[in-house]
């Protein structure tokens, strides 16, 4: 073995040890927990340091999960690492993405989450929430407050409580607006939702005035559908 | 504010409220009424929002 081969071998050994240590640390860090509060909070977590080695289950009392985290495209990072992030039984996910650099949030099944309050609150860099699966018995209090960059959102399930407010997200696509309005319950009346200003017109431009009018009319018995300028 | 059919639009610099929600355009549900909505100034609205933000 010449010196070049030895150097290469030494580097490989070093990398193997480093990767092994990293895997052990992550496996231990992500081992089953009863709560994941602040799991990846802080500046130290970025696209270089965030390399999970096993699936991430958000569980229990979990506010501030990615608070001030500097990871950018969370979906891409999870895909590159070959792992998934999913929600277990959650009591809280308040401010989970607040002041983080995260631009994309993976699909989150929130059906076992006790409340949806403030989940994306102050997630000012979030551009895409791949989807959220929700149930009609929980309110969306300040769930999307200050999500000023949000463009894409898919709602899977039913919005069934008063006060859903997403008016900060002025860049929402017509498709996202369509997903939100179609998710509004028709099982009970007396409810109010607040969309970004121009939402009705944006929907009409994309789907046609008659489709928009029919959709809004379908919900009118149950909802006041409002718009609010930032 | 102006009312056209089931649509209420806030005056310039004003925000509509029913005491709980805020809007610049309200598309009234069949159960709702224009009587439930009144205007407040933008400043009042922003003060209320700041209060809510502090509570979070």
What pTM did the predictor assign? 0.89
Across B38-47, b (16+ Cβ under 10 Å) vs e yields eebeeeebee
CA A135 to chain centroid, in Å, comes to 16
Average pLDDT of chain A to the nearest whole number: 92
Cα distance between residue B52 and residue B56, in whole Å: 7
Q: Per DSSP, which regions of chain A are E strands?
A: 56-61, 85-92, 104-105, 108-109, 128-134, 152-157, 164-165, 191-196, 223-228
User: pLDDT > 90: what percent of chain A?
Assistant: 75
Interface A-B, measured as beta-carbon pairs within 8 A, has a size of: 67
Residue A98 in this model has a pLDDT that exceeds 80? yes
Strand partners, A175: none
Q: Is B31 close to A216, i.e. CB distance below 8 A?
A: no
Q: Which of A124, A145, A164, A228 would best serve as a mutation to test chain B binding (most B beta carbons within 10 A)?
A: A228
Summarize pLDDT for A141-197 with one digit per residue, the tens.
Answer: 999 999 999 999 999 999 999 989 999 999 999 999 999 999 999 999 999 999 999
Question: Is A101:A124 a contact under the CB 8 Å cutoff?
Answer: no
Complex ipTM value: 0.93
Q: Is B23 close to A118, i.e. CB distance below 8 A?
A: no
Other CB atoms within 10 A of residue A214 CB: 11
Give contacts of B28 with chain A, Cβ < 8 Å. Answer: 220, 224
Place of tokens 């050994």: A13
Longest alpha-carbon distance in chain A: 81
Query: pLDDT-derived band of residue A136, with 50, 70 and 90 as boundaries?
Result: very high
A226 closest CB neighbour out of B23, B31, B52? B23
Give pLDDT, residue A83. 93
Instruction: Return the ∠ at Cα A132 (arms to A128 and A136), rounded to 5°.
Output: 140
Residue A19 in this model has a pLDDT that exceeds 80? no
């Amino acid at each position: 073995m010449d010196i070049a081969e030895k150097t290469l071998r030494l580097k490989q050994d070093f990398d193997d040890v480093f990767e092994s240590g990293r895997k052990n640390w992550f496996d231990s860090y992500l081992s089953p927990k009863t709560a994941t509060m602040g799991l990846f909070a802080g500046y130290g977590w970025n696209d270089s340091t965030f390399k999970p080695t096993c699936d991430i289950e958000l569980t229990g009392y979990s506010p501030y999960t990615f608070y001030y985290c500097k990871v950018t495209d969370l979906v891409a990072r999870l895909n590159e690492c070959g792992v998934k992030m999913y929600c277990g039984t959650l009591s809280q996910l308040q401010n989970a993405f607040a002041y983080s650099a995260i631009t994309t949030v993976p699909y989150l099944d929130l059906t076992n989450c006790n409340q949806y309050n403030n989940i994306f609150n102050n997630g000012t860099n979030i551009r895409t929430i791949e989807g959220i699966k929700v149930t009609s018995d929980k309110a969306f209090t300040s769930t999307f407050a200050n999500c000023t960059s949000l463009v894409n959102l898919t709602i899977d399930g039913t919005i069934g409580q008063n006060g859903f407010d997403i008016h900060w997200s002025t860049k929402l696509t017509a498709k996202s607006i369509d997903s939100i309005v179609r998710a509004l319950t028709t099982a009970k009346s007396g409810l109010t939702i607040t969309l970004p200003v121009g939402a009705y017109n944006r929907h009409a431009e994309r789907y046609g005035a008659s489709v928009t009018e029919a959709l809004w009319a379908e919900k009118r018995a149950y909802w006041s559908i409002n718009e609010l300028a930032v | 504010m102006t009312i056209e059919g089931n649509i209420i639009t806030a005056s310039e610099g004003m925000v509509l409220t029913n005491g709980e929600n805020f809007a610049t355009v309200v598309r009234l549900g069949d159960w709702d009424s224009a009587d439930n909505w009144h205007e407040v100034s933008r400043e009042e609205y922003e003060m209320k929002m700041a209060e809510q933000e502090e509570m979070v």
